[in-house]
Structure 1
Amino acid sequence: MAEPARPGCHRRHDLLDPEPGAWAAALAARPDLAGVPRVADWARGGWPVILRRWNPGEARDGIPVGLPLPPADGKRRIGLTLPAEAVRPRPPVTVAQALDAAPPAWHPTLTALDALGRRHDRAPLLFGSLLWQHLTGLAYLSGRSDLDLLWPVAPPIDPRFLDALAALDADAPMRLDGEILLPDGRGVNWRELHAAAPDDDVLAKHRDGLVLCAARDLFTGRCAGEATGEAA
């Protein structure tokens, strides 16, 4: 049996399976969610939630989780906090695993992204609409959807990898969005990093707040980050 999640041991965007009883208890404390489509049955249906950042002013107990509703149900983002013992980790989903859930026009780009990951020994992971369509079978994608990717990378970050990703983005039928995911859980927008001059700072998102990193340090592997003191 998988171990329950512990506060601080999981990263933003991690998938977690909520225990149905704890899910029902959390919803009972949120009368504003009564009658919102699909939410009451989410855990009973075997669908995961995703670890999110804390909201400003939110009590930092338990595990902050979220789920997005599909466009047909209002595209609302639902945020709850669950006890640490009530969620269990689920493996991430790679681009290759979700190919069948994607529009046919996306397949060449997805295949090329998977090949790029193999060349650089980093499998692209999903978050966003394609992930949720793959997990639930519900219609999350539209003709205007982006492809949201996480690239787990240990610095130093090879600029040639970002150049290759930018070249794929230029030819893709959808916008390639997402983050370079550092080993400590910080995420840096790949576009911002690709466009940054060596002396520029780039913003890194963490489950507990925001951190500034010098682009030069990310490319050389020296970035420890400077906390902004802002949690979001």
Structure 2
Amino acid sequence: MLEPLARHSMVKASTAGWAAVMNRYPELASEPIVASWAHAGRPLVVRRPVCSDTAGLVPLGLPLPPTHGKRRIAVSLAAIDIVASAPPPLLADAATPAPASWHPTIDKLLTLLPETRSYGSLAWQHLTGLPYLSDSSDLDLLWPLSSAKQAEFLLSGIAGIAKQAPMRLDGEITGPAGGVQWRELCGADEDEVLVKGPAGVTATTRAAFLAGQVS
């Protein structure tokens, strides 16, 4: 049995698969940017499943840019109709469309952890060429955690950069169990944190998550 794709993975749909999506969600076919999404080579993002999702299909999301209503559209796709998948883009690769005022912060983040990945408005603008960024945009990031020993250095570094950043720094520290919002991990080891994984949200302690324990 194939492992489920990780949350935030970017996938591309086959032409036939996207036609099936349009048939399954006819209300979306009237939105030109959605109807032509796969034909334009634009990706979808893997999300957590919800009760209304069809069993056996991969739950996916498509956030529209502000010029098209900023809707978050949920669809699902058969695994056979996914023709490509990749992690969300590295921050270093996605940084080009960022406002000039963001670049000093991005440079600090890349010095802290070059493997930092981007999702949210910056990533979507980079991946699609559509205008997602606005004056109120957050910088949404994923910081892969390699060890508990690394955690304190990483969290203190993020917190220090966030204090001086011109935008809000949002995002998750990611480990084997999934991702935890970085600010939640700034507490004590016995504090409860919420881990967002491919199948849903689970609770554990800060210490257990940082140790790489999977429930």
TM-score by length of 1: 0.87
Q: Equivalent residue for 2:74?
A: 79
**Which residue of the partner structure matches residue 207 of structure 1?**
198
| Distance (Å, rounded) in 2 between the aligned partners of 1:199 and 1:49 | 36
Provide closer, same or farther for how the CA distance between residues 29 and 207 of structure 1 changes in structure 2, counting only shifts above 3 A.
Answer: same
In the TM superposition, residue 8 of structure 1 has moved relative to its aligned partner by: 3.2
Stretches of structure 1 that go unaligned for 5 or more consecutive residues are 1-5, 226-232
Give the C-alpha shift of residue 52 in structure 1: 0.7
Q: Distance between the aligned counterparts of 2:122 and 2:212, measured in 1?
A: 33
Displacement of 1:91: 4.5
Q: Distance in 2 between matches of 1:145 and 1:111?
A: 18
Greater mean alpha carbon deviation, residues 55-64 or residues 124-133: 55-64
Counterpart in 2 of 1:175? 168
Q: Which stretch shifts more, 58-67 or 132-141? A: 58-67
Residues 14-58 of structure 1: per-residue CA shift (max 9 Å, x gap)? 011111221011111112213124001000001111101101242
Deviation at 1:75, TM superposition (A): 0.4
**Contact 2:144-2:175 within 8 A present in 1 as well:** yes
Aligned-pair identity in percent equals 41
User: Is the aligned partner of 1:224 residue 2:200?
Assistant: no
Q: 1:69 is matched with which residue: 56, 64, 68? A: 64
Cα offset, 1:222, TM superposition: 5.5
Q: Which runs of 5+ in 2 are unaligned?
A: none
Q: Which residue of 1 aligns with 2:152?
A: 159
> Does the 8 Å CA contact 1:54/1:60 hold for their aligned counterparts?
no
Residues matched between the structures, number: 213
Deviates further, 61-70 or 31-40: 31-40
Counterparts of 1:222 and 1:111, CA distance in 2: 28
CA distance in 1, matches of 2:153, 2:118: 22
**Residue 212 (structure 1) shift:** 1.0
SS for the counterpart of 1:202 is strand
